[in-house]
């Protein structure tokens, strides 16, 4: 670098976010005196158009060749300012940010100490920025295809949107059928649309769409590569049924020796299925699957004289020899739509979910009222003596939500409304039922929700403000013990049926997805988005997007909206056909590298290899970095014995002056 550094320092007020705690003028005055600083200014909002214009103008008029913005986190606005200085003709990597908002003004109270710290951070930035080098980002081709993980309503919608735009979609679903949780629901609030009627056409569409390749009963096993070029391995689990031959007639399930013995997952365990089964009649694909744990032939090696299913199958589709199959393909973007688990009500033992059969969850209620459910939509219960229509029904809301005792402080957002809807459905089916809902607060925030809540109240559904403390049995009745907190009246309420409005939880298996895609969790344990407001469908991993309840509890309209958002974001690299790859990669100084190969072993991406070069007439081995594979983590560098391998923008000679600047200014 022959050019003398000319630095511009721009200190942001961020309204009063920074300036209320940090004396920005003092910081600018201080910066002005630092070596190589040409100009130091403050402005109310540096990221705004006039703020950026200020920087650009100085670059042009004062010939600045380095820029420091002291404002928010670089995780927030580094791309913004990189773009700004690039527009003024400067290399975008000649920028350094001092984080004086998230890590200073917002966390410290005393103006004196916050100002002193800001000065240090600016000094450290000055020390580093002088030594930054110009980098060129490279573009590589992006595969015009997407992977969608999970085929609930979020995954289905995202897949359909991307496929309709003309890109190839690989849709991977863990269970034998697409549809997810929404397929289990009876009616949807607040419009009372039948869930199946609005969902099943989409299920059929996504299976028949020419651009969608559906992998049901399959799991993503491995994801490598990066945005634009993800390499995906999918395991198609053995169904023991040849899907090409299976006609979905159901003769096998009827003939199964262990017919209707196992709890049906789809019916929340309230209905039964055989070992060979279709999860539900409208399942897509309409192909049978053998459950290997319960099938006598697969688990015990013997099923009478021979498996009956095989005997009756006219299509000869049953194949006990079938093996898992691994399929590999490349995609440019990935959408995670893995959904949620309903809260496990047995974790609230005071409600007796494990003890009393007539304490059920909201999901079970959905199956009970559904025409396709185990009772054909008739709401009946067994009270210990006889099958009765429950006349006294209690709902309890916020079970497993807004409850620090089970580690869920968040609101699940759907329970208020599904409880109201279920109360309405019971009123519909049992007009003389006495229905009450125990609640903490009613949150009816969506379009048409408040109106629906009002309507349900007018249908003589009693809302009692109070969180029941206990449910116990008295004769044939269940007693809900609570306090009506509005009148301070203790209650012992005798009922026939209790419905627990269970909340939504992160999936028990989300760890696998996290490891697969390097995702993080937010404090509520759902997947963490890149920014809670401005990048709600993005993740920290470029090219990986979130849709639906895996990111946080959502109702169907919000899920669909987010799925469409994720689809449109995922289509950006696909439509461009190119992606930028990071320029901040490691580079080897071949004149000092001794070719020991430590870095080769350290690199988790196998981005480094040893090559033979000629040094002063001798053949020697040196390390060389494949820039397309390097992610710039720098682990190699800290392990290098001769400091020969260095990540650009985070070289030793760029970090050490930062350390010096922070240390010396006591």
Partner 1 sequence: MSSNYEPNIVAFLCNWCSYAGADLAGTSRVHYPANIQVIRVMCSGRVNPLYVMNALQQGADGVLVSGCHPGDCHYMEGNYYARRRLGMLKDLMEFVGVDPRRFHMSWVSASEGHKWKEVVEKTVEDAREAGPFEGFRRRQIDW
Q: Which one of the spans 231-239, 240-248, 355-363, 655-663 is the region binding partner 1 (CB under 8 A)?
A: 655-663
Torsional class of 174: left (φ above 0), alpha (ψ -120 to 50), beta (otherwise): alpha
- Interaction between residue 108 and partner 1 (CB under 8 A): yes
Q: Which one of the spans 117-125, 152-160, 344-352, 416-424 is the region binding partner 1 (CB under 8 A)?
A: 117-125
Strand, coil or helix: 43: strand
Closest CA to 331 of 200, 195, 172, 143: 143
Torsional class of 23: left (φ above 0), alpha (ψ -120 to 50), beta (otherwise): beta
From candidates 91, 103, 375, 568, binder to partner 1 by CB under 8 A: 103
Strand, coil or helix: 251: helix
Residues facing residue 403 across a β-bridge: 408
Q: Closest distance between partner 1 and the C-beta of residue 547, in Å?
A: 20
Q: Which one of the spans 107-115, 132-140, 197-205, 613-621 is the region binding partner 1 (CB under 8 A)?
A: 107-115
Phi and psi at residue 436, to the nearest 5°: -135, 150
- Interaction between residue 109 and partner 1 (CB under 8 A): yes
From candidates 16, 20, 107, 197, binder to partner 1 by CB under 8 A: 107
Cα-Cα-Cα-Cα torsion 44, 48, 54, 60, nearest 10 degrees, comes to 160
Strands of the sheet containing 333-336, edge to edge, are 212-215, 168-172, 145-149, 333-336, 544-546
Q: What is the DSSP string of 524-551?
A: TSSBPPSBTTTBTTB-SSTTEEE-GGGS
- Interaction between residue 652 and partner 1 (CB under 8 A): yes
Q: Which of residues 132 and 556 has its CB atom nearest to partner 1 in the complex? A: 132
- Interaction between residue 16 and partner 1 (CB under 8 A): no
From candidates 604, 614, 618, 619, binder to partner 1 by CB under 8 A: 604
Q: Are 98 and 122 in contact (CB under 8 A)?
A: yes
Tell me the chain's radius of gyration from C-alpha atoms. Answer: 31
Q: Which of residues 540 and 580 has its CB atom nearest to partner 1 in the complex? A: 540
Q: Which two tokens mark 303?
A: 């099923």
Burial class (CB in 10 A: 0-12, 13-18, 19+), 205: middle
Q: Closest distance between partner 1 and the C-beta of residue 661, in Å?
A: 8
Q: Which of residues 208 and 606 has its CB atom nearest to partner 1 in the complex? A: 606
- Interaction between residue 111 and partner 1 (CB under 8 A): no
Q: Where are the beta strands (DSSP E) in 36-99?
A: 37-43, 66-71, 95-99
CA 46/CA 13 separation, integer angstroms:
8
- Interaction between residue 365 and partner 1 (CB under 8 A): no
The site map against partner 1 for 539-568 (x = CB under 8 A) is -xx---------------------------
Q: What is the DSSP string of 424-474?
A: HHHHHHSTT-EEEEEES-----STTHHHHHHHHHHTTEEEEE----EEEEE
CA 629/CA 606 separation, integer angstroms:
7
- Interaction between residue 592 and partner 1 (CB under 8 A): no
- Interaction between residue 451 and partner 1 (CB under 8 A): no
Q: Which one of the spans 273-281, 294-302, 372-380, 601-609 is the region binding partner 1 (CB under 8 A)?
A: 601-609
Q: Which one of the spans 215-223, 302-310, 436-444, 645-653 is the region binding partner 1 (CB under 8 A)?
A: 645-653
- Interaction between residue 602 and partner 1 (CB under 8 A): yes
From candidates 16, 20, 32, 35, binder to partner 1 by CB under 8 A: 35
Q: Which one of the spans 328-336, 402-410, 481-489, 633-641 is the region binding partner 1 (CB under 8 A)?
A: 633-641
From candidates 350, 494, 509, 515, binder to partner 1 by CB under 8 A: 515
Handedness of CA 163, 168, 171, 176 (dihedral sign): positive
Q: Closest distance between partner 1 and the C-beta of residue 192, in Å?
A: 37
> What is the residue whose two structure tokens read 């600018």?
28
Strand, coil or helix: 399: strand
Q: Which of residues 144 and 647 has its CB atom nearest to partner 1 in the complex? A: 647
From candidates 52, 65, 268, 637, binder to partner 1 by CB under 8 A: 637
Q: Which of residues 185 and 232 has its CB atom nearest to partner 1 in the complex? A: 232
* Cα maximum dimension of the chain: 99
Beta strand pairing call for 272-273 and 262-263: antiparallel
- Interaction between residue 663 and partner 1 (CB under 8 A): yes
Q: Which of residues 16 and 107 has its CB atom nearest to partner 1 in the complex? A: 107
Q: Which of residues 272 and 631 has its CB atom nearest to partner 1 in the complex? A: 631
- Interaction between residue 102 and partner 1 (CB under 8 A): yes
CA 484/CA 271 separation, integer angstroms:
36
CA 46/CA 100 separation, integer angstroms:
13
CA 446/CA 248 separation, integer angstroms:
40
Strand, coil or helix: 65: coil
Q: Closest distance between partner 1 and the C-beta of residue 540, in Å?
A: 6
Q: Which one of the spans 119-127, 133-141, 307-315, 403-411 is the region binding partner 1 (CB under 8 A)?
A: 119-127
Q: Which one of the spans 311-319, 343-351, 458-466, 649-657 is the region binding partner 1 (CB under 8 A)?
A: 649-657
Q: Which two tokens mark 519?
A: 């995702």
Q: Which of residues 127 and 313 has its CB atom nearest to partner 1 in the complex? A: 127
Q: Closest distance between partner 1 and the C-beta of residue 230, in Å?
A: 15
Size of the site for partner 1 (CB under 8 A): 58
> What is the residue whose two structure tokens read 């009765």?
388
The site map against partner 1 for 63-82 (x = CB under 8 A) is ----------xxxx------
Q: Which of residues 440 and 662 has its CB atom nearest to partner 1 in the complex? A: 662
From candidates 28, 64, 124, 295, binder to partner 1 by CB under 8 A: 124
CA 130/CA 132 separation, integer angstroms:
6
Site residues for partner 1, 376-415, by CB under 8 A, read none
Closest CA to 599 of 588, 590, 583: 588
CA 65/CA 331 separation, integer angstroms:
39
From candidates 346, 485, 520, 642, binder to partner 1 by CB under 8 A: 520
CA 650/CA 585 separation, integer angstroms:
9
Distances in Å between the Cα of 534 and the Cα atoms of 337, 411, 529 are 19, 21, 10
Q: Which of residues 230 and 449 has its CB atom nearest to partner 1 in the complex? A: 230
Site residues for partner 1, 148-167, by CB under 8 A, read none
> What is the residue whose two structure tokens read 């000869």?
316
Beta strand pairing call for 276-277 and 212-215: unpaired
Q: Closest distance between partner 1 and the C-beta of residue 222, in Å?
A: 12
Q: Which of residues 17 and 268 has its CB atom nearest to partner 1 in the complex? A: 17
CA 438/CA 342 separation, integer angstroms:
19
- Interaction between residue 570 and partner 1 (CB under 8 A): no
Q: Which of residues 75 and 378 has its CB atom nearest to partner 1 in the complex? A: 75
Q: Which of residues 483 and 627 has its CB atom nearest to partner 1 in the complex? A: 627
- Interaction between residue 101 and partner 1 (CB under 8 A): yes
Site residues for partner 1, 521-540, by CB under 8 A, read 521-523, 528, 540
Q: Which residues bind partner 1 (CB under 8 A)?
A: 35, 73-76, 99, 101-104, 106-110, 113-114, 116-117, 120-121, 124, 514-515, 518, 520-523, 528, 540-541, 584, 602, 604-605, 631-635, 637-639, 647, 650, 652, 655-656, 658-666
């Amino acid at each position: 670098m022959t050019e003398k550094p000319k630095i511009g320092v721009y200190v942001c007020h961020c309204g009063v976010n920074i300036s209320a705690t940090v004396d920005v003028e003092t910081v600018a005055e201080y910066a002005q005196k630092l070596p190589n600083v040409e100009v130091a200014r403050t402005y109310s909002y540096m990221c705004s158009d006039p703020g950026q214009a200020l920087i650009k103008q100085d670059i042009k008029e004062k010939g600045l060749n380095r820029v420091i913005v002291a404002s928010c986190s670089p995780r927030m606005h580094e791309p913004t300012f990189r773009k700004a200085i690039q527009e003024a003709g400067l290399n975008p990597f000649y920028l350094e940010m001092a984080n004086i908002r998230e890590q200073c003004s917002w966390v410290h109270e005393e103006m004196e100490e916050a100002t002193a710290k800001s000065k240090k951070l600016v000094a450290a930035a000055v020390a580093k920025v002088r030594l930054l080098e110009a980098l060129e980002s490279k573009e590589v081709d992006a595969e015009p295809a997407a992977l969608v993980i999970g085929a609930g309503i979020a995954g289905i919608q995202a897949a359909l949107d991307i496929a309709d735009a003309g890109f190839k979609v690989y849709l991977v679903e863990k269970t034998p059928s697409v549809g997810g949780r929404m397929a289990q629901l009876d009616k949807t609030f607040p419009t009372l649309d039948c869930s199946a009627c609005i969902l099943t056409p989409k299920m059929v569409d996504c299976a028949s769409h020419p651009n969608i390749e559906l992998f049901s009963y399959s799991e993503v096993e491995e994801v490598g590569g990066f945005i634009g070029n993800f390499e995906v391995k999918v395991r198609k689990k053995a169904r023991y049924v040849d899907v090409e031959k299976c006609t979905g007639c159901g003769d096998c399930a009827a003939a199964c020796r262990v017919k209707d013995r196992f709890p049906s997952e789809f019916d929340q365990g309230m209905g039964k299925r055989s070992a060979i089964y279709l999860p539900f009649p409208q399942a897509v694909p309409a192909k049978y699957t053998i459950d290997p744990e319960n099938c006598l032939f697969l688990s015990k090696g013997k099923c009478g004289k021979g498996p009956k299913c095989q005997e009756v199958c006219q299509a000869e589709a049953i194949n006990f020899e079938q093996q898992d199959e691994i399929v590999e393909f490349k995609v440019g973007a990935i959408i995670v739509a893995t959904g949620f688990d309903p809260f496990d009500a047995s974790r609230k033992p005071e409600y007796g979910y494990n003890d009393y059969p007539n304490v059920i969850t909201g999901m079970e209620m959905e199956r009970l009222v559904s025409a396709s459910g185990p009772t054909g939509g008739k709401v009946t219960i067994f009270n210990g003596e006889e099958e009765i229509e429950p006349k006294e029904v209690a709902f309890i809301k916020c079970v497993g939500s807004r409850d620090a005792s089970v580690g869920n402080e968040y609101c699940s957002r759907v329970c208020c409304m599904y409880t109201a809807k279920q109360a309405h459905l019971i009123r519909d089916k049992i007009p003389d039922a006495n229905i009450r809902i125990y609640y903490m607060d009613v949150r009816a925030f969506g379009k048409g929700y408040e109106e629906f809540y009002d309507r349900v109240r007018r249908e003589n559904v009693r809302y009692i403000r109070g969180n029941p403390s206990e449910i116990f049995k008295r004769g044939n009745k269940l007693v809900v013990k609570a306090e009506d907190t509005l009148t301070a009246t203790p209650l012992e309420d005798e009922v026939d049926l209790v419905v627990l409005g269970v909340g939504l939880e992160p999936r028990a298996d989300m760890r696998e997805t996290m490891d697969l895609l390097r995702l993080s969790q937010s404090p509520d344990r759902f997947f963490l988005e890149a920014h809670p407001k401005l990048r709600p469908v993005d993740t920290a991993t470029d090219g990986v997007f979130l849709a639906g309840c895996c990111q946080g509890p959502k109702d169907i309209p919000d899920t669909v909206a987010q799925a469409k958002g994720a689809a449109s974001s995922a289509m950006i690299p696909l439509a461009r056909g190119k992606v930028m790859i990071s320029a901040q990669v490691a580079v080897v100084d071949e004149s000092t590298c001794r070719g020991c190969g430590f870095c080769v072993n350290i690199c988790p991406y196998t981005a480094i290899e040893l090559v033979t070069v000629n040094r002063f007439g001798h053949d020697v081995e040196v390390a060389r970095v494949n820039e397309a594979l390097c992610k710039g983590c720098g682990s190699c560098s800290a392990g290098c014995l001769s400091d020969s391998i260095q990540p650009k923008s985070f070289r030793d000679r760029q970090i050490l002056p930062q350390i010096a600047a922070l240390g010396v200014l006591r």
